[in-house]
């Protein structure tokens, strides 16, 4: 019953963002920033996986991984606003979907500094991509607030689902990680 409630909650959470992802809402960047992580499969899977993976951790890593991702992604976004391009950025984003999915599937618990370093590297690639895709005539600050808020919400959704599910549902979470890893492999191949 809790799994059903969690899935319904996630669906309801994502529905408004899809509705606002269309142009003409006069958002000046906020809605575009919210829509970017929610409507790009690569961003959505990676950011959701960070929440799932954080919930599988113990101690400080539970908060450190999502916070590291959000802060580093914002830094990457600011660099992207300035036109900085990252070599192999798209490959890095696809690799993040694969690697984060595998971390969830295998419930990996590396030392905190390694987990944070990998998370930061992936977040930087996502952030630069967000920054480079700033819509014309949009406020960069509203756009950044949108993609930071949506990312934090995806992390929270992934974390919340793992924490709400009974322990017996852990294989479902690992299967979700495996599915994400498969999508990452497909993105890398494409």
The pLDDT tens digits of the residues spanning 87-114 come to 999 999 999 999 999 999 999 999 999 9
pLDDT surpasses 60 at 11: no
Q: Is the dihedral of CA 101, 104, 106, 112 positive or negative?
A: positive
Q: In whole angstroms, give the CA distance from residue 56 to residue 107.
A: 6
Is there a contact between 23 and 135 (Cβ–Cβ < 8 Å)? no
The pTM is what?
Answer: 0.85
At residue 167, the pLDDT reads 84
pLDDT of amino acid 4: 57
User: What value does the mean pLDDT take over residues 143-147?
Assistant: 96
Please say if the pLDDT value at position 46 is more than 60: yes
Task: Decide if pLDDT at 8 tops 60.
Answer: no
What interhelical angle do 30-39 and 41-56 show, nearest 10? 80
Residues of the chain with pLDDT > 90, as a percent, come to: 78
pLDDT at 119 over 50: yes
Mean model confidence pLDDT for the chain: 89
């Amino acid at each position: 019953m809790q799994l059903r409630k969690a899935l319904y909650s996630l669906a309801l959470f994502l529905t408004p963002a899809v509705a606002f992802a269309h142009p003409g809402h006069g958002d000046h960047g906020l809605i575009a920033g919210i829509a970017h992580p929610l409507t790009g499969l690569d961003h959505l899977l990676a950011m959701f996986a960070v929440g799932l993976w954080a919930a599988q951790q113990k101690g400080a890593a539970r908060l450190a991984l999502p916070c590291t991702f959000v802060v580093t992604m914002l830094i990457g976004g600011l660099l992207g606003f300035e036109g900085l391009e990252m070599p192999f950025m798209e490959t890095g984003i696809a690799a993040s979907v694969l690697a984060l999915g595998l971390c969830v599937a295998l419930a990996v618990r590396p030392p905190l500094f390694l987990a944070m370093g990998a998370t930061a590297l992936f977040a930087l690639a996502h952030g630069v991509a967000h920054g480079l895709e700033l819509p014309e005539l949009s406020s960069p600050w509203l756009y950044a607030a949108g993609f930071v808020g949506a990312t934090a919400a995806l992390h929270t959704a992934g974390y919340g689902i793992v924490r709400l599910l009974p322990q017996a549902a852990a294989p479902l979470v690992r299967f979700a990680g495996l599915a994400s890893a498969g999508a990452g492999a497909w993105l890398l191949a494409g």
